Amino acid sequence: MSDTIQITVIDRDNQPHQLEAPTDMGLNLMELCKSYELPVQGTCGGMALCASCHVYIRSNHALPEPSDDELAMLDSAFFVQENSRLGCQIKLRDTLEGLEVQLAPESV
């Protein structure tokens, strides 16, 4: 299956999950996590407006630069680190084979 990549998502209890991600469906990382029923809310539906899909990028993959909207959201989110990104802004494509991310703590 050439249209599939493997992604590791580490949940908030430090448990790794191996996810098979299709790259031909225009999915983003938030949607993938939701389809595997990982505890990612994606409240705003992928508009970079809620930060409920906040993740830390643990592998050295070259990701597209965050948009202004994403940076603005990360600016008012909590638990933000250097490697923070919003899952909803990360389109799943074949260059992300082996990507490893960790779910950021949930904000109240």
Partner 1 sequence: MQQINPFRPGFSLGERAESLDRHPDGRWRIVTDRGHVHVAPAVFIAGGLGSFEPRKPPIEHIEQYEGKGVEYFVRNPEDFRGQRVVIAGGGDSALDWAIYLANEVRELTLVHRRTEFRGALDSVEKMQHLAQTGKIKLVTNAQVVGLKGPDRLEKISVLHDTEGAFDLETDYFLPLFGLTPKLGPIADWGLALDKGAIEVNTLDYSTNLSGVFAIGDINTYPGKLKLILCGFHEATLACQSAFNIVNPGKKLSFKYTTVTGIEGMETPAIPATS
- Residues forming the site for partner 1 (CB under 8 A): 41, 43-45, 49-51, 71-72, 75-80, 105, 107-108
In the complex with partner 1, the residue whose CB is nearer, 6 or 25, is 25
**How many residues in total does the chain contain?**
108
Q: How far is the CB of 89 from partner 1 (least distance, A)?
A: 16
Shortest Å, Cβ 14 to partner 1: 19
Judged by CB, which is closer to partner 1: 6, or 107? 107
Exposure b/e, 19-41, CB count within 10 A at least 16 = b: bebebeeebbbbbbbbeeebebe
Residue given tokens 């638990």 in the structure block: 79
Q: Measured from the CB of residue 48, what is the shortest distance to partner 1 in angstroms?
A: 12
Distance CA 88, CA 92 (A): 10
